[in-house]
Structures are given as structure tokens and as C-alpha cells.
Amino acid sequence: DQQVKQNSPSLSVQEGRISILNCDYTNSMFDYFLWYKKYPAEGPTFLISISSIKDKNEDGRFTVFLNKSAKHLSLHIVPSQPGDSAVYFCAASDPSGGSNYKLTFGKGTLLTVNP
Amino acid sequence: ETGVTQSPTHLIKTRGQQVTLRCSSQSGHNTVSWYQQALGQGPQFIFQYYREEENGRGNFPPRFSGLQFPNYSSELNVNALELDDSALYLCASSPQGTNTEAFFGQGTRLTVV
């Protein structure tokens, strides 16, 4: 039972264009959402997050949108750069079971930005 | 400010053996979580340690156990290794009580043969 789903295993875009990565979730208890980027042989690196009380958060070239009613979030990267090529993981924070939250991850989307 | 460091980076074990993986948390972070990332999958939560006690556990059998030390570093122990335990094991640290991002180490690649 996968609670966080990234239905696109891969995405290819041209440099300078917009990259849109999508994520769906099923658990309505999730209250905080994060995007991580992962290069081969490295651990995931935090990119941007959004609380469930907001519908948009922006940080430079990265914007995350949250649609709670649809249980859907997306990450927009504008403009895309070749260095953005990596696997992107969507993660959701579950408030149950402790004072600090465990993360539930999707399977990831491989983004390739072509020069 | 030092980041999250894990050791070793790679190791190979035989089925049935035991393994210990180590993690030093980021300076100032008192909570450590462990994740298993199998090939082609996202990281899966194993358990979390806070103040040297287990503070939440995912769907992993008891042969996966851990420790946290007073300096907040942590160990993951896996007994009776199985072939399916082959994966990247990630450690993440975060400050307690904040709904914020967790910082990950580079991981330990475990291969069970």
C-alpha cells in the first residue's frame, strides 16, 4: 500500500524550460510535505517543503504547490538547468508515533535536463 | 557545522551474518532516523531514535535494531542477514520537536551474497 505515489518514473526537459514533477498521496493525516533531490552515490538533499496549511511555497527557482482536496502536490523548477538532473523524491511527514516525524517517500522521478 | 556522516560507505556480507552500520548526526540534532532504500524504490522508514530510545518504528522485523548514544550518534544492527536486505541504508538527523527537513548522510551500500 503505497501512500505517496510518483507516477512518472522519468521526465526529460530542455534547459531553460519548466520542469513539473508530480506527487499524489492517500493518507489524509500527512501534514507536511518535502521534496528531496538525490544524485547517484549521495544521500537525498532537501530542496523545499510545504505545510498542509499552505497551498504554495517558493524558493528561488523552485516552487511547490499543494492541492489538499486532490491530495496532490507538484514541484516546479523554472528555469531548468542541466545541474538539476537527478532523482527527485516527494516525501510526506506523518505526525503519528513520536515527537519527531517519520517520512514516507515516493519512488522518485528521474529528471534529465538536456542542454 | 558538520553534516551527517555514515560508515562504512560500502560493505559485502554473507547471508546469515550480522552487520552494524554507524551514523554521526549533524551538530545540534538530537533525533536520528534510519531508512532502507532498495533499488528502484524510495527510502523506507526503519525506525527513529530520540534521547537514546526508539521513537517510532516502520514495518521491519525485530532483527533490525538500533542504538543511540549520548552524543546522538547511532547504530543500525541487522541480524541474520537475508539477500533482500541488500540496499542503501540512509541515516537522517533532525532537531527535536520541529516539523522540519531531515538531513541525510550519503548512505551505506550493503550487499548480501
How is chain B classified by DSSP, letter by letter?
----EEE-SEEEE-TT--EEEEEEPPTT--EEEEEEE-TTS--EEEEEEETTEEEEE-S--TTEEEEE-TTS-EEEEE-S--GGG-EEEEEEEE-TT---PPEE---EEEEE-
Tens digit of each residue's pLDDT (9 = 90 or more) over A55-65: 999 999 999 99
CB nearest A101 (choices: B4, B41, B99): B99
pLDDT at site B18: 98
Closest-CA distance, A53 to chain B, in angstroms, reads 13
Give the best residue of A21, A45, A93, A100 to mutate against chain B (max B CB count within 10 A). Answer: A100
Tens digit of each residue's pLDDT (9 = 90 or more) over B91-105: 999 887 555 678 999
pLDDT at site A101: 65
Tens digit of each residue's pLDDT (9 = 90 or more) over A35-71: 999 998 889 999 999 999 999 999 999 999 999 999 9
Phi-psi region of B30 (alpha: psi -120 to 50; beta: other; left: phi over 0): alpha
Chain B residues with CB under 8 Å of A98 CB are 48, 50, 55-56
pLDDT at site A99: 45
Size of interface A-B (CB pairs under 8 A): 74
Asked whether the predicted pLDDT for residue A6 surpasses 80, the reply is yes
